[in-house]
A = this chain, B = another copy of it.
Amino acid sequence: METNEQQIALVGLNMGGPDSLEAVEPFLLNLFSDRELIRLPLGAWLQRPLARLIAHRRARRVRPNYAAIGGSSPLLHWTTRQVAGAAERAGHRFIPFVAMRYWTPRAEETVEAIRAAGLQRAMVLSLYPHYTGATTGSSINDFQQAVERLHPQLDCRFIDRWHDWHPYQVALAARIREGLEEIPVELRWETQIVFSAHALPQSFIDRGDPYLEHVQQTVRGAMALVGDFPWRLAFQSRSGPVQWMEPDTEETIGELAREGHKALLMVPVSFVSDHIETLHEIDIEYRQLAENLGVRHFRRAPSLNDHADFLWALAALVRSHLPEGWEG
């Protein structure tokens, strides 16, 4: 086994998504089995059987949604391009890897590949800019356990939050402006911007997760670059009978439509690439709702995906976290 001391694994962490319609149910089973993400009632020993039940029922409901966006989640595609693009821009010593929490490639597979490549150092980058134990926390724990088991010599440095990283806010602002360009000039400055972040159960916020505060900081930073448009922040994708963060995105859209606003721009925040929540929930479900209520121009800002300014932002983020002695 060859060891390369100069090289650094750049590992991007994300949740993953089903790569086929058949994968929808086992993906959801993995997701609902994670007690860091969701604590089903009745305790740990019943989590898995309950998860199986919920995944089965929910798969029936969301499989047609995946079918409508091409039969699979684009998340691995985008995450792979993001990490490769960031690695390239961070300097040629970085070798890109991806580890997904709920679908392939899982952390074990990725750590195995890092070991096989003879790498001893890793910068591990959560692709959730806003910290919560439910996503970043769970992903990092999962990755660390795989490292301890399979490649304990690997020296890992973690980047677990970057909501306030200015180049990220700059890239987000550019996407917002691209969205605004799609609204006719005479309505543009009356556009209502709706930032939509993934909802968390309110209990996560109450226990001290900085998620809400992080999202707010990102939104304020981006809007400082976009200009003095009216905007709101709302939360999408609630599921299950608990208290969720508010306001709800769907309700916010309804409210704005009923107030008579004719131009709405949705901005996905907390996601850094397209997946089912942007391509189906916003682009199909919310659009239909808004148009039924009389909104004439319902648009969504493009996701960050592999826009060059976002890849540079990630590259600079990684370089800014390089520990002493790794600069090479």
Contact = CB atoms under 8 A, between A and B. Distances in A.
Interface of A: 88-89, 91-92, 166-167, 170, 173-174, 177-178, 181, 185-186, 188-189, 225-228, 308-309, 312, 315-316, 319
A227 B166 CA distance: 12
Given A91-B189, A170-B170, A189-B91, A308 B228 contact: no
Contacts of A89: 188
A206 to B, nearest CB: 36
A195 B317 CA distance: 24
Given A91-B188, A91-B189, A174-B174, 8 more contacts: A89-B188, A92-B185, A92-B188, A92-B189, A170-B170, A177-B309, A177-B312, A178-B308
Number of copies: 2
A225 B167 contact: yes
Interface of A, helix, strand, loop or mixed by DSSP: helix
Contacts of A88: 185
Closest CB pairs A-B (n = 9): A227-B316, A91-B189, A177-B312, A92-B186, A88-B185, A170-B170, A92-B185, A174-B309, A167-B225
Contacts of A177: 308-309, 312
